[in-house]
Amino acid sequence: MKIKYKIIEMYPDDGTIVVRYFSDLLPEKQLISIPDLDEKGNPLRCRTDVSINIPLPLPKFKEIDSLIWMHCPIIFFETQAKIKDETIDTTLDTLKSKFKKDSKAKTIEDIKNDNALYHSKKLKEMTMTDVLTAEEIEEITKNL
């Protein structure tokens, strides 16, 4: 599966953009969450539209591109591929007791810590070449 993105909305007063992710297996038309289309025939809303706060002052595009890819709903795309596998349970039974109920509150610091722990576990599963280009690995290792 090859995932792409496009910036579909920009809010300079808030330092926010809305990014739409889609793939070769899940094009925009299959991700529509609101059935209305814009004047060019593009979906107004998709299930993979994500609001991203851009740090200010505005970084270079390479850093923004990295930030956009960090927000990519990878689990969503992986799940959509698994849903087609009839041997995998997709009933969401473990969530039924929590449906439409407020979660317990967490501080921003707790959320950051939880996210860091989750991502560090995921990074351990990856190799350096999954995360960095050959040029980036060379640049890092020459300074060791």
For the residues of the chain, what is the DSSP string, one character each? --EEEEEEEEETTTTEEEEEEEESSS-GGGSEEEEEE-TTS-EEEETTEEEEEPPSS---HHHHHHHHHHT--HHHHHHHHHHT-TTS----GGGGGGTT-PPPP--HHHHHHHHHHHHHHHHHHS-HHHHS-HHHHHHHHHT-
Percentage of the chain exceeding pLDDT 90: 40
pTM for the model stands at 0.65
pLDDT digits (tens, 9 = 90+) for 35-93: 888 888 888 899 999 999 999 888 999 999 999 999 999 999 998 888 878 888 888 88
**In this predicted model, which residue has the larger pLDDT, 128 or 138?**
138
What pLDDT, on the 0 to 100 scale, is given for residue 54? 93
